Structure formats: structure tokens, C-alpha cells
Amino acid sequence: MSEPEYETRISLYFRKPYPFHLPYSLIFSSQILTFSHKHIFSNKQRSSFSVIQEKSTMESFYQQVDKLEEVFIERLRAAIEIPSVSEQEDKRDNVFQMAKWLVHEMESLGIQVKQKDLGKQPGKDINLPPLIIGRYGSDPSKPTILAYSHYDVQPAALSDGWDDEPFELTQKEDGRLCGRGTSDDKGPLLNWLNMIQAFKKAGQEVPSNLVFCFEGMEESGSQGLADALKEESTGEFAKIDSVCITDTAWSTIDRPTLIRGLRGIMFYHINIDGAESDAHSGAFGGSLSEPMTDMVNLMASLVDSRGEILVPGIYDDVLPVSAEERKALGEIKMSKDSFDGGINGKLLHEDQADNLIARSRKPALSLHGIERASPGKGASTIIPGRILGRFSIRTVANMNIAKIDELVQTHLKARFQQLGSKNKLSVQLTGRGDWFFEEVDHWNYQAAIQATEKVWG
């Protein structure tokens, strides 16, 4: 087998073509399970456990990976061609089509599948796509790994800067596979299926039991997921030994990265109501209390041009960065392009450690847009009667969502009162996801570290 090439991943937020390499990513998945198998039983001191003879076992598996490469690529091609964009509510059928296709692929490999109905999208008469729960293997002598991925994607079009049609799989001259979802997250998701197929073709057992959690609303705030996880915590997701999330970015575009923590998210909507309909600025400008003026003032009061959040008290519970941590962040081998994902953005921090601290260890507040609450074809000089502003906060370890929400609500309402506006304000926390931070000495991380070294060197 030739030396492994690197999988290239670019963060989903940049909306650029995501290159992807087969088969080395799925080999990594198999190695994680193999090393997890060894670690968990070593820690449990099971004398009856005999270590898998990796050389002979994996060599046969590698051979099947090479033989099945075109099969894997065609599977990815079929998935990419389904535009399962969850935020496009008028095209939600595409997400359901993706779910149906995925269930068929899973069942064809012998995976037991359950589609969990998540009901209606909150506040709307539209169904949420199902949470797909799969199970492969139930051997009590093996550890059970929960694998998470998602089958929905972000919008994409040639006008966004793609070289090729985003919903058609394109293979570049250097072997990279590009298309919406190749890296986030259909490619990583399908590698779990590809791995099972390669083991089956090699006539070998997968070294761990697998439970799959595949959702279809990750790109739209994972609506319905939290309740489903609670419901299944004593059901399908009970007795899980560890979790492997295949939906994260690398610190650079050419170096594998193991994630020990992720920032949380709080989505906000600011609504300002001034009039029942829009007005003409030529006739009414200067005589009305304009919602847009209020909104611009409120949005500007949230964050400054250096990225510092202006909400009083928001940094109070943020854990300080130790000298050792700063030193470690500064020593990570990164290219300059990896600082901004290659989008040529203007960096707030030229120092690598400061850049990584801003991206991972400090909270961030981003303004996403201001929209007319009642869109129409009005002229560009209209005065909107109602305005919707959107922003989000990325939370970090030790921050409490309820406390942060209280701080944000208090700040915005106080600022609005200072404006003396006659308009009506409402602030809504429309979505949330908590942060997580784990210790790397856990056997799950140790297995991942060994798997990374084994595959990528």
C-alpha cells in the first residue's frame, strides 16, 4: 500500500469547495475502533481478551479498501447529488430524500436502522427530517462506540466561488474529490459505512460495536436533536462506552487534528417593530421613529471592531489561558493560510497563539445580518416598518447559557431604553448548543492519537 496522502478539510463556514481523499480517512476510522478495542479492555483488565493481530487483520482490510475505492467514490457521488440543504424550508423534501437514500445504504450493509420522528420544526408547519439511529454489532465482549455525523449541508452555488457545480462530485487532477458535503459532512459519514463494507469483504469482524447517530438539521441549529438524545439516553444510546464525532475541522488544511473541545453556540434574533407597513423616505423621512436606526445602534453596542464583546459581565466566568497552554498553541505547526482558511480575511491577531486563543478559548460574538421582517419588492429608499437582526455568541468552557442570556437581554433592553425610541423591541434566544471540553488522557483520546499516528505518521 502506498504512503497515505493527506485528507484536506476546510471549515464549513468559509463556503469553499471541500476536498476529500479516499481511502485514508476510513482507514483512520477502522484504526480508531481497533485501538479503542485494545484500550478499553486493557483498562478493564480483562485477562480473557486477546489482542487483535493487527498486521494480518488490517493488511486484508487495506487490500479491500483499495479494491473498493471506486465503489466508495460512487457512493459519495450519489450522496453529493442530493442537495440536502436543511435551511431551505421550501426544499425540505431533498433532506428527506437524503435520509431515505442513507437508510437504504445502511440497511444494505446489515446495519439495523431506526428512523426517529422529530415532529414539526418549532413555530412552523414543516416536518423535521428524521434522526437516523443505526446499530451494527451487539457483542458484549466488545466496546460500543457511538458515531455522530450529519447528512444535511449548507447552501452552495457557483456564484459563491465554486470552480464546479457544488452538487456534482468533481475529481481534481491531484485526486481530490470536491463537492458540497464531501468534507462536511457526507464524506466522513459515509466512511463509517465504507469501513463496514471493507471489513465484510475481508471476511472480518468490526473490532467494536457501533451505534450511529445521523441527523439532518445540524446546519440549522440541530433542531429536535437535544430532546431526541434525552429520550434515547435510556434507549438506543444507553450503555455507550465512548463517542466519536466526525464533524470537525483541522487546525491546518494538511495536518490531522484531534478535537478535545468545541465552543458552544447561542443564536439570537432582535425584532424591532415600528409600523404596520413600510414607508417612503421621501414622504416620511425625518418624521418617523425608524426601526433600522434603532437596530444599527443595538448591533453596534454588542461588539467592537477588535472583536471584543461589549456586553457587561460576559467574560466573568471565562477560564484564563495558562502560560503552558499559550506556549503549546504557539508551537502548533500551522501555515499562514490556515489562520483564515485561505479566504484572505483581515486578521485581528497576527500572533499564532493569540489567533488560536481567539478562535477556541475566548467567546466570540458575530453579527450575521439585518433583514426586513416583511420582505417585498419595495424601492431601495423605503423605511422598513419592521426589522429583524441576527447575531450569535460562541461560548467557551465554564460559561453558563442561562447567565449569558440574562446578560444579553439586560444589555440590549437597557441600550434600547437609552435610545428613547418609540418602537417596540423583542430579543429571542432562538437556538443553543453547549460547549464541551475533555481530558486527553481518556482511553478514547489515546486510541485516536494512536490511530492518527498509525495512518498519517
Which tens digits make up the pLDDT trace of 267-301?
999 999 999 888 889 888 888 889 999 999 999 99
Query: Residue 132: what pLDDT?
Result: 99
CA dihedral 102, 105, 107, 113 (to 10 degrees): -20
Query: Residue 33: what pLDDT?
Result: 67
CATH number for the domain that contains residue 114: 3.40.630.10
Residue 202 has φ and ψ, to the nearest 5°, of -80, -5
Segment 213-265, tens digit of pLDDT: 999 999 998 999 999 999 999 999 999 988 888 888 776 666 788 888 889 99
pLDDT of residue 20 exceeding 80, the answer is: no
Give the CA distances from residue 170 to residues 23, 123, 136, 181, in Å, rounded to whole numbers and listed in that order.
16, 38, 31, 12
Bridge partners of 267?
392, 431
pLDDT band at 56 (very low <50, low <70, confident <90, very high): low
Report the range of poorest mean pLDDT among 145-149, 191-195, 242-246.
242-246
pLDDT of residue 48 exceeding 50, the answer is: no
Burial of 158 (0-12, 13-18, 19+ CB in 10 A): exposed
Query: Would you list the DSSP string of 37-101?
Result: HHHHHHHTT-TT-----HHHHHHHHHHHHHHTHHHHHHHHHHHHTS--BTT-GGGHHHHHHHHHH
pLDDT band at 31 (very low <50, low <70, confident <90, very high): low
The count of other CB atoms within 10 Å of the CB of residue 416 is 20
CA 440 to chain centre: 21
Do 145 and 289 belong together in one domain?
A: no
Nearest to 385 by CA among 396, 395, 371: 371
The more confidently predicted of residues 44 and 452 is: 452
Do 204 and 300 belong together in one domain?
A: no
The rounded distance, in Å, linking the Cα atoms of 215 and 15 is 20
Query: Residue 221: what pLDDT?
Result: 86
Report the range of poorest mean pLDDT among 85-99, 124-138, 367-381.
367-381
Do 187 and 55 belong together in one domain?
A: yes
CA 44 to chain centre: 33
- Is residue 317 annotated as part of the catalytic site, yes or no? no
pLDDT band at 28 (very low <50, low <70, confident <90, very high): low
Q: Which residues contact 355 (CB under 8 A, 6 or more apart)?
A: 339, 347, 348, 349
The rounded distance, in Å, linking the Cα atoms of 73 and 63 is 16
Q: Which residues contact 350 (CB under 8 A, 6 or more apart)?
A: none
Answer yes or no: is 94 within a domain: yes
Query: Residue 190: what pLDDT?
Result: 96
Query: Residue 238 has which C-alpha cell?
Result: 444507553
The number of domains in the chain is 2
Do 80 and 216 belong together in one domain?
A: yes
Answer yes or no: is 353 within a domain: no
Q: Give the active site residue among 152, 215, 219, 236.
A: 152
Query: Would you list the DSSP string of 170-210?
Result: EE-TTS-EESTTTTTTHHHHHHHHHHHHHHHHTT---SSEE
CA 189 to chain centre: 12
| Domain that residue 39 falls in | 12-260+438-456
CATH number for the domain that contains residue 369: 3.30.70.360
The rounded distance, in Å, linking the Cα atoms of 32 and 69 is 20
Do 411 and 300 belong together in one domain?
A: yes
Answer yes or no: is 79 within a domain: yes
CA 392 to chain centre: 15
The arithmetic mean of pLDDT across residues 96-110, rounded, is 99
Give the CA distances from residue 244 to residues 159, 201, 240, in Å, rounded to whole numbers and listed in that order.
35, 24, 11
Query: Would you list the DSSP string of 234-261?
Result: TTTTSS--EEEE-----SSSSS----SE
Query: Residue 62: what pLDDT?
Result: 86
Total count of residues recorded for the chain: 457
Answer yes or no: is 329 within a domain: no
Do 190 and 309 belong together in one domain?
A: no
Answer yes or no: is 128 within a domain: yes
Do 311 and 214 belong together in one domain?
A: no
Do 395 and 432 belong together in one domain?
A: yes
Do 178 and 60 belong together in one domain?
A: yes
Do 256 and 297 belong together in one domain?
A: no
The more confidently predicted of residues 10 and 1 is: 1
Q: Which residues contact 216 (CB under 8 A, 6 or more apart)?
A: 84, 86, 95, 96, 98, 99, 128, 129, 130, 131, 132, 150, 151, 152
Q: Give the active site residue among 7, 218, 236, 294.
A: 218
Q: Which residues contact 275 (CB under 8 A, 6 or more apart)?
A: 288, 385, 386
Question: Which of the listed ranges 59-68, 289-298, 380-389 does the model predict with the highest average pLDDT?
Answer: 289-298
Answer yes or no: is 326 within a domain: no
pLDDT band at 32 (very low <50, low <70, confident <90, very high): low
The arithmetic mean of pLDDT across residues 323-346, rounded, is 79
Bridge partners of 391?
268, 367
Under a CB-based contact definition with an 8 Å cutoff, are residues 373 and 426 in contact? no
pLDDT of residue 46 exceeding 60, the answer is: no
The rounded distance, in Å, linking the Cα atoms of 19 and 184 is 10
Do 237 and 366 belong together in one domain?
A: no
Report the range of poorest mean pLDDT among 111-115, 262-266, 446-450.
446-450
The count of other CB atoms within 10 Å of the CB of residue 414 is 11
Query: Residue 158: what pLDDT?
Result: 95
Query: Residue 49: what pLDDT?
Result: 33
Answer yes or no: is 133 within a domain: yes
Answer yes or no: is 150 within a domain: yes
The arithmetic mean of pLDDT across residues 115-123, rounded, is 96
- Is residue 406 annotated as part of the catalytic site, yes or no? no
Do 442 and 296 belong together in one domain?
A: no
Query: Residue 347 has which C-alpha cell?
Result: 486578521
Segment 395-430, tens digit of pLDDT: 999 999 999 999 999 999 999 999 999 999 999 999
